[in-house]
Structure 1
Amino acid sequence: MPFSSFNSDVNGVTHMVMSMTGFGRCVKQTEKCMVQVEIKTVNHRFREFHIKMPPQLSQAEIPLRNRLSKQFNRGRVEVSVKLSGHISPSKELYIDWDLIDSYYHFIKEAKKRYQLAGEAVLSDLLRLEEAIVVSEAGDIDDDVFSLLLSAADGAACQVSKMRETEGDSLSIELDTYINSLEELVQRTKELSPLIQTTYTEKLRTKLSEMIRGKIDETRIVSEAAIFAEKADISEEMARLISHISQFREALLTSEPIGRKLDFIIQEMNREANTIGSKASDSNIAIMSVEMKVLIEKLREQVQNIE
């Protein structure tokens, strides 16, 4: 059986953003039989396969899994294979003679020990399910295997097209959110230098009201410098801008990017939280909250990217 005929790629198409959600069904048939393959993919942190197929095709499960592993990099992949038609698989009989011998001698010993009448008959031995097993044997018929291969190709191709289409929609949403986040960061960056000036004026006014006399400018400058150091968010802003750039670059690659984007978003959220905790300005605090809302929207969409 030519399991090695499974190719490394189904449709040869690379795509920048691929969703993890898709569905495909393909039916292939001859005069003798029909094979139907359904593939459903959904979100999952890792790659996980669940394959259901008739016992006659059990030998094809590992090659099929290996083939789909090259097509789907992440997500839960559910595969259902149905086989129908005039198929007469060979049978194989397995008999555990040692178990039957033990059972036969046990019956004889029990009858003797308890003085029971009668002898062990064949019907008693046939009731031993573990001792007599009938199973299907032999390789998959070449025609059936070819149909399975062709149907798997067709279903996987449909799944990929659906995942690409949804990936395009995800790209548009991600681009919208990342642009809005960048605008917020830029507004925050422009507002940041004004914080120290505003604080200095407030401090001067407060001290003037308290002492109602000459103001110690040295003290004001010192207090303002201490405040500026504590409230400085320039490093957080620089890192956040860098993460936005990395996010955009990842969207342009042809490799699976879901996990990378998820990590970048975690770092974005970390910086936004720090900005919010440092901010002593109400406007920056509000912007920090808006940043986290946008980052959460990005996270929701990224969960569905391969």
Structure 2
Amino acid sequence: MVRSMTAFARQTLDAEWGSLAIELRSVNQRYLDLHFRLPDSLRELEAPLRERLRGTLSRGKVECTLRLTLSEQQHDLSIDHEGLERLVTALTEVRRIAPEAAMPSALALLDHPGVSRASGPDGDTLREAALKLFDETLHDLDDGRAREGERLAELIRERLTGIREQVTEVRAHLPEVLERQRNQILERLESVKAELDPARLEAEMALIAQKSDVAEELDRLDTHVGEVERQLRQKGPIGRRLDFLMQELNREANTLSSKAVVTDTTRCAVELKVLIEQMREQIQNIE
């Protein structure tokens, strides 16, 4: 299935302790490039989140933003009175032995381990909720990339149909083109009253016809179109293969243009380049 690298997903969770919001935004990138914006209390989740993204996505620049908002009740501080009394007793003993020692402020006492604690959600509960919400958001992102990928595949198939039509048109006119070229050469020779050996003339005509014969280029265009269609049916990342095939298609279109001796072939070659460039622009977004 074709997958785009461009998508956006957002999920939220409301609980008694507050709310979580996760946003995943991905755009096209040659490799998988991951960026995280996490609150300090959930910074340790970056490693498992990164692992989940690598297990699902292959290419793209992905920005992950996690927002945590605690309810008003969760901002309250509770004091461990026994712990505070033990700390004050120890400080009194220090002051007795070293009167010159500076005593800590009330705020410093609150920061001492075991004296105060915030009435927030349990750490394990919060991490579990964040990981579950992230999995749901990642699933939505992957679905979005798949839906966008199908739309890209439809656009590419339309262009492939256009390429086949141009190739068919050039093939249909090929005998006429060669005959017209032969007549033009004979007319030029007649105009200058040139006298050439008939055998030499036929050899030169055969050489010119060979140089202007585009049957091989048309065959390769058909082959590359068939390979693009096959890749669109494959599973897994196909963007780089498609990009390479666009280069090959463009190479054949350029050769066809250089060999064009009539306006019909030139017009078809220009149309081919337009179709290939349109596909190439879409393929830049495919994983």
Same fold (TM > 0.5): yes
1:267 aligned to 2:248?
yes
2:68 is matched with: 83
Instruction: Give per-residue Cα distances to partners, 1:188-211, cap 9 Å, x unaligned.
Output: 123233333222222222222322
Question: What is the TM-score with the length of structure 2 in the denominator?
Answer: 0.78
Moved more, 186-195 or 65-74: 186-195
2:107 is matched with: none
2:178 is matched with: 196
**When you count helix as a share of all residues, which structure comes out higher?**
2
**Structure 1 segments unaligned to the other structure (5+ residues):** 1-15, 89-119, 124-133, 135-139
1:220 is matched with: 201
1:114 is matched with: none
Question: What is the TM-score with the length of structure 1 in the denominator?
Answer: 0.74
2:139 is matched with: 157
Q: Quick one: which amino acid aligns to residue 145 of structure 2? A: R
Moved more, 269-278 or 194-203: 194-203
CA drift of 1:122 comes to 6.3
Q: Is the 8 Å Cα contact of residues 50 and 78 (structure 1) preserved in structure 2?
A: yes
Q: Residue 305 and residue 173 in structure 1: after superposition, are their counterparts in 2 closer, same or farther (change >3 A)?
A: same
Q: Residue 121 and residue 281 in structure 1: after superposition, are their counterparts in 2 closer, same or farther (change >3 A)?
A: farther
Among 253, 260, 263, which residue is 1:279 paired with?
260
Q: Quick one: which amino acid aligns to residue 185 of structure 1? A: V
Q: Distance in 1 between matches of 2:75 and 2:135?
A: 22
Q: Distance in 1 between matches of 2:50 and 2:175?
A: 57
> How is 1:132-281 mapped onto 2 (pairs within 5 angstroms)?
141-211=123-193, 216-281=197-262
Q: Distance in 1 between matches of 2:145 and 2:276?
A: 23
Q: Quick one: which amino acid aligns to residue 62 of structure 1? A: A
Q: Is the 8 Å Cα contact of residues 208 and 215 (structure 1) preserved in structure 2?
A: no
> The residue matched to 1:254 in structure 2 has which SS?
coil
Q: Residue 81 and residue 210 in structure 1: after superposition, are their counterparts in 2 closer, same or farther (change >3 A)?
A: same
Q: Is the 8 Å Cα contact of residues 22 and 42 (structure 1) preserved in structure 2?
A: yes
1:17 is matched with: 2
1:52 aligned to 2:50?
no
Q: Quick one: which amino acid aligns to residue 12 of structure 2? A: V
* Identity %, equivalent residues: 34
Q: Distance in 2 between matches of 1:164 and 1:28?
A: 25
CA drift of 1:262 comes to 0.9
> The residue matched to 1:17 in structure 2 has which SS?
coil
CA drift of 1:165 comes to 2.1
Instruction: Give per-residue Cα distances to partners, 1:117-158, cap 9 Å, x unaligned.
Output: xxx9969xxxxxxxxxx9xxxxx8211111111110121122
CA drift of 1:48 comes to 0.7
CA drift of 1:233 comes to 2.1
**Structure 2 segments unaligned to the other structure (5+ residues):** 77-99, 104-112, 114-121
Once superposed, which parts of structure 1, at least 4 consecutive aligned residues long, lie more than 6 Å away? Answer: 120-123
Q: Distance in 1 between matches of 2:265 and 2:26?
A: 42
> How is 1:97-136 mapped onto 2 (pairs within 5 angstroms)?
none
Instruction: Give per-residue Cα distances to partners, 1:162-215, cap 9 Å, x unaligned.
Output: 222222221221111110011101211232333332222222222223228x87
Q: Is the 8 Å Cα contact of residues 181 and 261 (structure 2) preserved in structure 1?
A: no
Q: Distance in 1 between matches of 2:169 and 2:65?
A: 52
Q: Distance in 2 between matches of 1:65 and 1:255?
A: 20
Q: Distance in 2 between matches of 1:142 and 1:78?
A: 24
Q: Quick one: which amino acid aligns to residue 272 of structure 1? A: A
1:116 is matched with: none
Corresponding pairs, count = 245
> The residue matched to 1:211 in structure 2 has which SS?
coil
Q: Residue 219 and residue 30 in structure 1: after superposition, are their counterparts in 2 closer, same or farther (change >3 A)?
A: same
Q: Quick one: which amino acid aligns to residue 274 of structure 1? A: T
